[in-house]
Amino acid sequence: MSHALVVRGLVKAFGNHVAVDELSFEVPRGVVYGILGPNGAGKSTTLRMINDIFAPDAGEIVVLDGLSPGAEAAQRIGYLPEERGLYPRMKVADMIGFIGELRGLSRGDARRRAGAWLDRLGLGQWAKNKVQDLSKGMQQKVQFATALIHEPELVILDEPWSGLDPINAEVLRDVVDELRAAGRTVVFSTHQMEQAEKVVDRVCIIARGKKLLEGKLLELKHRAAADGLVSLGFGDAAARATAEPLLADPSLVSDRRAPRAGDVADCEVKLADGVTSQQLLAALVTAGARLRRFEVVVPTLHQIFVDRVGGSAAIAERRPEGS
């Protein structure tokens, strides 16, 4: 089966600011794919190029069955732009149906589905109201409906969680799960790692327009876990004193630090190169240090992100994202 989206060597510069720099990634079909990055990383610019809003300076984008971005591809893509915007004086149901029609649905079909989507999003009784009469959160949901009404094979959501309250954030995650269950492909961008972690299959972390890391979330986590981060808790002060020489041994432990806030562990250590967690455990047991806790840390997406992007790259560029 072909990919839902292939991006190869994508470059886009605005003036002398390079927003996207030789970016390449592939999105298999039926996958929820997260493009993660700090502000100004080039996420929105990339998604806009896929939607034919910007033309790339270099590189190639292939959508679905060998299509280039453009009118034909647009019929099979759903898009939630970062700049949310609807026609303020249009009735809610008409607005959704209008986009549905432009995305290739017949008029009757578009109307029927618009109604169904409004019910699905809990906005049924607002169908005949004007868009401008809705709250920001409700408008956001209407915007989702415009991205999904034509049942696109590829759904592109730019910062979908921004401006959503926790309940609506969950509604959105449910919708994404449904899309995956239906075998459709979702590509979204975000810097909200907690949200992304709950729905994403594969991630691509970018910063300053360059790809830092890409792969299945689970594999990335396991790989990061294999990096040898171990969280330790000791039975008492004596046990801790016993363990101290081992933890200070550079052939066993390369780094140690205080546990993260809220953690019940006493400390976190990073194993030296070539040392397995098994070896550290054996050494501690042999030394007789009584352990309350020994855990190979599987980092959250947030930790992976912060580790990889680091402090410097997280600082936004002079230009805001997408400009």
Residues near other proteins (CB under 8 A) are 48, 51-54, 71, 74, 77, 79, 81-90, 94, 98-99, 101-104, 143, 146, 322-323
CB of 61 to other proteins, least distance (A): 14
CB of 26 to other proteins, least distance (A): 22
CB of 260 to other proteins, least distance (A): 39
Nearer to other proteins, 254 or 323 (CB): 323
Alpha-carbon separation of residue 54 from 155, 227, 276 (angstroms): 18, 39, 48
- Backbone φ and ψ of 76, nearest 5°: -110, 5
Residues 6+ apart with CB under 8 A from 272: 228, 250, 251, 252, 253, 254
Nearer to other proteins, 50 or 164 (CB): 50
Nearer to other proteins, 52 or 263 (CB): 52
Handedness of CA 183, 184, 187, 188 (dihedral sign): negative
Nearer to other proteins, 107 or 260 (CB): 107
CB of 209 to other proteins, least distance (A): 17
CB of 208 to other proteins, least distance (A): 20
Nearer to other proteins, 51 or 195 (CB): 51
- Backbone φ and ψ of 245, nearest 5°: -60, -35
**DSSP H or E stretch at residue 93:** helix 92-102
What is the 8-class DSSP label of residue 91? B
For the record, the structure tokens of 75 come out as 């019929």
- Distance between CA atoms of 118 and 142, rounded to whole angstroms? 8
